[in-house]
Structure 1
Amino acid sequence: MSAALGPEWDEHAIGRAITPIRLQSYRSAARGDLHAALRLYDWNAVASAAVLMTVAMVEVITRNAMDSQLTAWAARRGEPSWFDTIPLDGKALAALEHAFRKVEAAPCGNDFHGKVVAELSFGFWRILVAQRYLTSLWVPALNKAFPYGYRDIRERRLRVEQNLAALVAVRNRAAHHEPIHGRDLLADLRSAVEVATWVDVDAGAWVAARSPLESVVRRRPRAG
């Protein structure tokens, strides 16, 4: 029996319910000890929740900043919305079209634009800062969404892309209940604070202050 899990639960039954395959990385990290593996599994769930909260803050900050700059870019070109003329391809274009269809299928009042922006995934915004959109989107518009980043806008783009890619990756693992116990979560927190700070210094300070990730990492159980 496990005091950590509660005296009424059989650890072996819990292990079977989770399945040996799902527990494999935890047992490996715990040197085969089932009790320690289940404690690590519990901690991984708490860490995943902390990751999701942290990334949620950064996602809203970055997508709003990017949307604002794309809207200004479209206005300078005499266009009512960036949705209709943004030069996307592949997955990004498919994601935008999917968001359009989903919002059109449900009542959205007068905030069609805002609903579409909210419907687009964090991965969509990460794609927009990719190298292939350097001249079409980053130089004329999106670099301005991160005014406190690197002075060289090409270096700024690279660093923004790296940080967003890391955050999308860890968010996806956390959201799908995958192991993140072996990942450098403090590096992910630094990425979150950094990219938010590049949008707005106060926003970065807010993420740093509100994220529970650092305290969760400090409570990681030791290996068995």
Structure 2
Amino acid sequence: MADACRHPEAEARREWAERWLSQSRFSSYLELCNDDVNKALELHEWNLLLGRALMGDIAHFELALRNAYDRVLTERFEGSEHWLFDANSPVTRPIMRKSKIKKLRDVNLVNRRAVNDARGRAHNPANPNQVVAGLMLGFWAHMTDRSRERDLWIPYLHAAWPAGTDRTKLNLKLEAINKLRNRVAHNERLFNPGLDGYSPMKIDADMLALFQALSPEAHDSIYGSSKKTTVEKFLEDHPAPIDVEL
């Protein structure tokens, strides 16, 4: 009965919205908006705008992270080639660790594949600067996980961070930033994070603090002395069309 009472214009809008976004995707927005097609489309666009704001912070942070890691590895790694290309590099050489089921695995296998892929995309695959620029955020984020503590964190990467930085806590924040980045890149829903703990509000605050730790001058030049995060400023200028959590 409710379907029969729908306005033809709203039905037409729903039809093209479902073709554009997919029925399953749009239905999640419709459910939150009490089946109001216009409100659901507004919420979807608001979500994209939030992602656009977050992607700026992610880009600033990713540049700081990869260049800091490249710098300390270049300064400290004693090899015959750049740390990306040297066979003995702690980033790419085989490092065998036992998995949870006690099976040996090479934790750097994924790194070698990532470097090879980046070299394949580079205009000059022998130029380390081009390869470094072509590596994804996930590559850098995973360099601080537990399996690489002895080989990477202790001798190299700790030097990129303020003295006393806790690797475990840092790694959790980097993993969350990378997950948020992937959600933004795939236009996924960013609000109402639920039980997974990936709150864009918290992650953005952590990301800006880490950016300031890596490159305080760049951070202050971009963000000034404001104590508000990008998400907080976004909410002031772009209130959500419905009540959501961030």
The amino acid that maps onto 2:112 is L
Alignment length (residue pairs): 207
Q: Distance in 2 between matches of 1:90 and 1:78?
A: 20
Specify the SS of the correspondent of 1:86: coil
Task: Determine whether 1:117 maps to 2:171.
Answer: no
Listed one character per residue, the Cα deviations across residues 58-87 of structure 1 (whole Å, up to 9, x for unaligned) are: 00011000100010111xx25441111323
Runs of 5+ consecutive residues of structure 1 not aligned to the other structure: 1-6
Aligned to 2:66: 63
Runs of 5+ consecutive residues of structure 2 not aligned to the other structure: 1-8, 93-107, 194-198
Percent sequence identity over aligned pairs? 24
Q: Are the aligned partners of 2:161 and 2:213 in contact in 1 as well (CA < 8 Å)? A: yes
Map 1:181-220 → 2, pairs under 5 A: 181-183=191-193, 184-206=199-221, 208-209=223-224, 212-218=230-236, 219=238, 220=240
Q: Distance in 2 between matches of 1:222 and 1:12?
A: 19
Indicate which of 159, 164, 173 corresponds to 1:152: 164
- Taking only aligned residues, the RMSD between alpha carbons, in angstroms, comes to 2.7
TM-score for both structures, normalised by structure 2: 0.75
Task: Determine whether 1:136 maps to 2:148.
Answer: no
Aligned to 2:5: none
Tell me which of the two structures has the higher relative contact order, counting C-alpha pairs closer than 8 angstroms and 6 or more residues apart. 1
Q: Are the aligned partners of 1:95 and 1:120 in contact in 2 as well (CA < 8 Å)? A: yes
Indicate which of 96, 110, 113 corresponds to 1:94: 113
Higher helix content, 1 or 2:
1
Q: Distance in 2 between matches of 1:206 and 1:31?
A: 43
Q: Distance in 1 between matches of 2:112 and 2:89?
A: 9
Q: Distance in 2 between matches of 1:158 and 1:206?
A: 29
Listed one character per residue, the Cα deviations across residues 72-119 of structure 1 (whole Å, up to 9, x for unaligned) are: 111xx254411113233121121012212332xx247xx811101001
Relative to structure 1, the CA distance from residue 90 to residue 207 in structure 2 (aligned partners, 3 Å threshold; closer, same or farther) is farther
